[in-house]
Amino acid sequence: MRYLDWVYHVFQTGRGDALSLYDSSVSPPDALLAEAARKVFGDAGGVGILSAFGGGSVALRKYLADCYRISPARVVATSGAASGLALIYRALAQAGDHVLVERPGYQPFEDMALAAGLQVEGFARAEGDARPVLEDIRARLRPETRLIVLSHLHNPTGQPLAERDLSALVTLCESRGLLLVVDEIYGAFAGDASLAALRSPMVISVSGLSKIFGLGALRCGWIVAASDLAETLRRASVHGDPGVSAVSHAIALEVLRAWPAFRAHTEAVVAPNRVLIAAWLDRMAGEGLVECRLSPLGCLAFPRLVGMARTDGFAAWLYATKGIIVAPGQFWGAARHVRLGFGMERARLEAGLAGLGDALRAYAAMPFGARQAVDDYRWL
């Protein structure tokens, strides 16, 4: 089962009392979003919305360009960050080209490349601080390598991409004529104006509103690239991203204009929850149940569950017996881990972590046969 198939399965078999610890975004600020929509439509519901055909809303692209202090010619607005990456694969690479993708990493990075007919190979991100292992990248380069793809903040660990590592990657790509694609859907957690693509014409940044503000339903993302690459992507989006919505982009523009208010909501949710999950991880580590280096940024944690060779069975058993959802690490290429999100309402996070802690203690106390039965548990 692939990650998105697993998400679909969980949604389709969902139980009303389930506590989700796998959500990877901040809970959406419904009142702020409603206000943004009112600014678009007005109290009477009348509005004039310009087309978003072929590269997205012009007004949205111009606003983003002004924020990044670049030309609007460098911006492509999309129906989401994932749509943007899929567009890059299809428009800027050819079938048979070789792509290096981070591991642990978000599995759809690989799946979308394979769907585009590309050869995909993983490169290592180190245990703990998740630094890209540059020696491993260099060793895997081929004459047909076209793209290197990674995330900042790293999904699943939440660790930031260090300045020295980004600089080294930019230098490598410039010297080899490669494109470095940085998924920065979590990047705003590290700085509102930071963007890897501002460094070099060989770097492409992908971002959006789904993670930091929890607005995945709005279906708005963007790509920043060199002008010539961006023009290629805009032309390709006519067929490659047909789901772009002028209404969504109009509302997204109002969200961006109200960035401080949305950002304040995010911080109000995430900051106290980080303290909560850090304390929980410390307790669990003290009991010998988990190992984790929690990022100071973002809303993700990726603990290793001590004593488990893989966590998919435990995750299925946890859901079946306690109604708690965690994402098995196998979907990121790290089978001993689980990914946890902590961008939700505090009471739900407390309840979910308490139940997960009890389950970890119960598993550790089981005899070998019982633990093996949990390890072999399957999603129903």
* Domain formed by 3-24+261-375, architecture: Alpha-Beta Complex (3.90)
pLDDT at residue 44 greater than cutoff 60: no
Q: Residue 16: what pLDDT?
A: 72
Query: What is the radius of gyration, based on Cα positions, of the chain?
Result: 21
Q: Residue 126: what pLDDT?
A: 96
| Tokens coding 341 | 């999100």
Q: Residue 35: what pLDDT?
A: 95
Provide mean pLDDT across the span 26-51. Answer: 82
Provide mean pLDDT across the span 196-206. Answer: 97
pLDDT at residue 65 greater than cutoff 60: yes
* CA–CA separation, 24 and 248 (whole Å): 21
Q: What's the burial of 69, exposed, middle or buried (CB within 10 Å: 0-12/13-18/19+)? A: exposed
Residues of the chain with pLDDT > 70: what percent?
98
pLDDT at residue 52 greater than cutoff 90: no
pLDDT at residue 141 greater than cutoff 70: yes
pLDDT at residue 228 greater than cutoff 90: yes
Provide mean pLDDT across the span 46-63. Answer: 81
How confident is residue 11, by pLDDT bands cut at 50, 70 and 90?
confident
Q: Residue 28: what pLDDT?
A: 94
pLDDT at residue 133 greater than cutoff 70: yes
pLDDT at residue 227 greater than cutoff 80: yes
* CA–CA separation, 315 and 13 (whole Å): 15
Q: Residue 167: what pLDDT?
A: 97
Provide mean pLDDT across the span 124-128. Answer: 95
How confident is residue 17, by pLDDT bands cut at 50, 70 and 90?
confident
Provide mean pLDDT across the span 306-329. Answer: 96
How confident is residue 376, by pLDDT bands cut at 50, 70 and 90?
very high
Q: Residue 243: what pLDDT?
A: 87
**Cβ-based neighbours of 296, under 8 Å, separated by 6 or more:** 274
Could you say which of 2.102.10.10, 3.40.640.10, 3.40.50.2020, 3.30.70.1350 is the CATH number of the domain covering 31-257?
3.40.640.10
More reliable by pLDDT, 46 or 56: 56
Mean per-residue pLDDT of the chain: 95
Q: Residue 172: what pLDDT?
A: 98
Beta bridge partners of 124: 103
pLDDT at residue 278 greater than cutoff 80: yes
Q: Residue 47: what pLDDT?
A: 56
Of 43-52, 84-93, 188-197, 310-319, minimum mean pLDDT range: 43-52
Domain ranges of the chain: 3-24+261-375, 31-257
How confident is residue 250, by pLDDT bands cut at 50, 70 and 90?
very high
Provide mean pLDDT across the span 311-329. Answer: 96
Residues of the chain with pLDDT > 90: what percent?
90
How confident is residue 51, by pLDDT bands cut at 50, 70 and 90?
confident
pLDDT at residue 49 greater than cutoff 80: no
| Tokens coding 265 | 């909501």
How confident is residue 43, by pLDDT bands cut at 50, 70 and 90?
low
Beta bridge partners of 98: 119, 145
